Amino acid sequence: MSRLDTPHAARLTAGLDALALTPDLAAPLLAYLDLLQRWNRTYNLTAIREPDAMVTLHLLDSLAMAPYVAGVHRLADLGTGPGLPGIPLAIAHPGLEVALVESNGKKARFLREAVRQLALPNARVIEARAEAATPSGGFDAITARALATLPDILAVGGHLLAPGGRLLAMKGARPDDEIAALPAGWAVHDVIALQVPGLDAERHLVRIGRRADTD
C-alpha cells in the first residue's frame, strides 16, 4: 500500500482541500510524517503517535496558518521541536525561507535529516536557544506553536524580527490575558480565529508587531 492509499492520507487530502491547499502537498507531507514516526520510536520527538492524530494535530494544525505567511520571505520557527509548524510551512511555500530554531540536540539531528531527506532547500536548522540566535538581517516573521506565553516569546525572540516584522503566534483559546501583559513597545495587529479540519477545539493566530509599526 502506498502512502497515499492509507486512511490517514485520506484525512490529510480532505484537510488540504478544506484549507484550500493543493493536493500535491500530500506526498511530501506524508513523507515527513513517515520520517517523524520512524524517529519517534527511538527519540520520542512527540507524544502524539497515532497517524490520524498526527495528521490533524501536527500537519493540518500547522497548515492552518499557511495563508498568513504567503507574503513572508524569511520566517524563524522558535522552539520548533520536530519541525512544527516550520517544516509543513516550508513544504507549502517553497519560496519561504524557514529557519528551524531548536536547542535540543536530538531534535536538531532529526530536523537536519528531515531537511535532507525531504530535499527542502528553503529550510535550515539553527541549533540554539532562541535568545542566543543572531542571524544577520533579521526575519520578516517569527512563529512559535507551543513555546510559552506571548510576553515570553517576545522576550526570547523579539530581537530576531526585522523592522516591520511580526510575531505569528499559534494559540488555542483567545489569549486575552497574555495580550494584556505584552511588554512595552509591542502591540497586537490582529487575532484571527482559525479552523483546523477535523479538530473540535479553538485555534487562534495572534499577529504582533512593534508598536511603532502597528500604530
Which amino acid is present at 55?
Answer: V
Domain boundaries, the chain: 3-214
Q: Does domain 3-214 have CATH number 3.10.129.10?
A: no
At 151-174, the pLDDT tens digits run 999 999 999 999 999 999 999 999
3-state DSSP assignment of residue 4:
helix
Q: What does pTM read for this prediction? A: 0.94
Averaged pLDDT score across all residues of the chain = 93
| CA 54 – CA 33 distance, rounded (Å) | 8
Would the pLDDT of 20 be above 80?
yes
Q: How confident is the model at residue 1 (pLDDT cuts 50, 70, 90)?
A: very low
ω before 82 within 30° of 0 (cis)?
no
Q: How confident is the model at residue 5 (pLDDT cuts 50, 70, 90)?
A: low
Would the pLDDT of 105 be above 50?
yes
**Mean pLDDT value across residues 17-26:** 97
At 44-98, the pLDDT tens digits run 899 888 999 999 999 999 999 999 999 899 999 999 999 999 999 999 999 999 9
Query: 164 is written with which cell numbers?
Result: 516591520
User: Any idea what DSSP says for residue 125?
Assistant: E
Predicted pLDDT at 3: 61
Give the residue among 215, 201, 144 at the shortest CA–CA distance from 178: 144
Residues of the chain with pLDDT > 90: what percent? 86
Query: 64 is written with which cell numbers?
Result: 492552518
